[in-house]
């Protein structure tokens, strides 16, 4: 049944415009040393890490899958400029800038910041290297990582049109029905890998922000008859608006694909326990996760997203919520440029004493 379901999904996706931007498929890594550090087979489930940090575009990350469809849609509409929003260290913004380079398009980023002169490091440095034009707006809520960006985006659209260019606005995080296609396809890829390995995991852990990835993973799991629960770990606040956004864009994506399945709010699982003081602010549990995964698997997590997702997985192993007889998958969504920002360096130095 699963093979038939995946074929149906791939057929539906093949009818959508897509620009090749990512190196796919990404590997599925068996984290045996991390499992040993968490108690070994007697206490810890088998841990598989889906390496979407290795998608290659602009230093890699999950947004490459979404941008393949978003940039193709922009091109199909005759767009010449990509415009998107995010926090000043947004991975999505950095990868949109990289995608614009590959597609031969102009890019304008509207980024929220707590200062008028943020340090030129991490993703912001890469934004500049990729030639993006950056507009800064003040951050109004650290839990949400949002600012008053709508008026600025509207002004940028007007400026681009006045200059004879055609703008295409990508929502924050690429969270739109078109962006959802990326992780519907990513799920098909993962389900095929698991079938080849004859493994049926019980959960898929991932860090959840603007909820476009959640929408794609959850819709993909339903469409592909995946064996696992899609378990999101929130990195910022925003309920119930965000879960409703995920439901809406997932169902819009299903409609565009010509598929009958639909999601309801209970299908979308998001753990709110690991946000800490706010979006992009490292947590102690996240810092421990970064160090543990680095020293066992030589894999790098980031302080904003994947560290908080992995912190949840680690706690669930230690608390016994996950059984040693299970297999779980962790989706590594990338984000390593944030390791080279002053916020993380300072937090890491304080932790080391």
Q: Which two tokens stand for residue 303?
A: 């302080």
* Whether the Cβ atoms of residue 64 and residue 57 lie closer than 8 Å to each other: yes
What is the arrangement of strands in the sheet containing 167-170, beginning at the earlier edge strand? 146-147, 133-141, 106-113, 81-87, 167-170
∠ CA 283-286-288 to the nearest 5 degrees? 115
3-state secondary structure 222-233: HHCCCCCEEEEE
Quote the CA–CA distance of 166 and 89 in Å, as a whole number.
26
Residue whose structure tokens are 């614009």: 100
Active site (annotated) includes residue 175: no
Chain centre distance of CA 327: 22
- Candidates 20, 90, 208, 307; catalytic one: 90
Cβ neighbours, 10 Å, residue 125: 16
Question: ω before 93 within 30° of 0 (cis)?
Answer: no
Query: Cα(51)–Cα(319) distance, rounded to whole angstroms?
Result: 26
Whole-angstrom Cα distance, residue 193 to residue 304? Answer: 28
Q: What is the largest CA-CA distance in the chain?
A: 65
- Tell me how far CA of residue 350 lies from CA of 49, 53, 343, in angstroms: 29, 27, 11
Q: Among all residues, which ones are annotated catalytic?
A: 90
């Amino acid at each position: 049944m699963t093979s038939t379901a995946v074929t149906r999904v791939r057929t539906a996706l093949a009818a959508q415009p897509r620009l090749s931007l990512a190196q796919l498929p990404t590997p599925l890594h068996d984290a045996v040393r991390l499992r040993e550090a968490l108690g070994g087979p007697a206490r810890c489930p088998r841990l598989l890490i889906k390496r979407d940090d290795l998608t290659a575009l602009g230093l890699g990350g999950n947004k490459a899958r979404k941008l393949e469809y978003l940039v193709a849609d922009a091109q199909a509409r005759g767009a010449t400029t990509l415009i998107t929003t995010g926090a000043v260290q947004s991975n999505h913004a950095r990868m949109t800038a990289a995608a614009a380079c590959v597609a031969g398009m102009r890019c304008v980023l509207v980024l929220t910041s707590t200062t008028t002169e943020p340090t030129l490091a991490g993703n912001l440095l890469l934004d500049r290297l990729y030639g993006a034009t950056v507009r800064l707006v003040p951050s109004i809520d650290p839990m949400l990582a949002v600012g008053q960006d709508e008026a600025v985006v509207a002004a940028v659209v007007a400026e681009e049109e006045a200059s004879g260019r055609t703008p295409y606005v990508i929502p924050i995080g690429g969270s739109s029905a078109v962006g959802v296609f990326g992780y519907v396809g990513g799920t098909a890829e993962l389900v095929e890998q698991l079938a080849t390995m004859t493994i049926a995991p019980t959960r898929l852990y991932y860090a959840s922000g603007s909820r476009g990835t959640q929408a794609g993973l959850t819709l993909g799991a339903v469409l592909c008859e995946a064996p696992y629960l899609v378990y999101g770990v929130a990195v910022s606040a925003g309920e119930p608006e965000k879960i409703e956004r995920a439901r809406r864009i997932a169902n819009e994506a299903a409609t565009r694909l010509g598929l009958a399945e639909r999601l309801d709010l209970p299908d979308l699982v998001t753990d709110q326990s690991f946000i800490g003081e706010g979006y992009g602010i490292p947590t102690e549990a996240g810092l421990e996760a970064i160090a543990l995964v680095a020293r066992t698997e030589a894999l790098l997590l980031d302080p904003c997203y994947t560290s908080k997702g992995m912190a949840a997985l680690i706690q669930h192993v230690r608390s016994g919520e996950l059984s040693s007889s299970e297999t779980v998958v962790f989706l590594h969504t990338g984000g390593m440029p944030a390791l080279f920002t002053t916020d993380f360096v300072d937090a890491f130095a304080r932790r080391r004493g």
